[in-house]
Amino acid sequence: MASITPPTGFSIRAANGGYEYAQGVATDPYTLKTLVHDFGGKRKRITIQVPPITEAAASAWTEFFEDLNGMVNTFNLDVDKGLQTIFPHITDTSVAFRLAEPNIRWDIDTAKFFGFSFDAIEVI
């Protein structure tokens, strides 16, 4: 596992976040009673949307995602990139994340402007 550096000078167009909890649920199929198992774990999950960028600038992003190798490698996000708004209690200057799923896709329109959006989970 390696820590990969995101493209320099990027900005975040939109971001949202929340928590994932280590919990399991069992529901009785006859009575529909639910039993929740709480294992006490919690991690941050974010969705980041990068503003539309040109084809030339997009090559840095495609290389970044390629270097992440799905969920294998990690990356750090500085708190000043908008994380402080989503998670106001963060005291660290950066938080380590990895992609939330092993596949990544992006959009490209006919004017060759790329739109990147991805989900990431906190590395614990």
Q: Residue 70 domain-assigned?
A: yes
Q: Residue 39 domain-assigned?
A: yes
Q: Residue 8 domain-assigned?
A: no
| Mean pLDDT of all residues in 28-41 | 94
Question: Mean pLDDT of all residues in the chain?
Answer: 84
Confidence label for 50 from pLDDT (cuts 50, 70 and 90): confident
Q: Residue 3 domain-assigned?
A: no
Q: Residue 18 domain-assigned?
A: yes
**Is the pTM above the cut of 0.85?**
no
86 pLDDT exceeds 90? no
| Mean pLDDT of all residues in 40-62 | 87
Q: Take residue 50 and report the two structure tokens written for it.
A: 């990068």
| Mean pLDDT of all residues in 6-25 | 84
Give the position of tokens 């329109």.
109
Q: Residue 4 domain-assigned?
A: no
Residue 74 DSSP one-character state: B
Q: How far apart are CA 121 and CA 124, in angstroms?
A: 9
Q: Residue 33 domain-assigned?
A: yes
Q: Residue 113 domain-assigned?
A: yes
Per the structure, the complete domain to which residue 110 belongs is given by 14-122
Q: Take residue 68 and report the two structure tokens written for it.
A: 């992440």
Count of domains for the chain: 1
90-109 per-position pLDDT tens digit? 777 778 889 999 988 887 77
> Which residues pair with residue 15 across a beta bridge?
48
Report pLDDT for 14.
78
Report pLDDT for 81.
58
**For the chain, how far is it from start to end, CA to CA, in angstroms?**
13
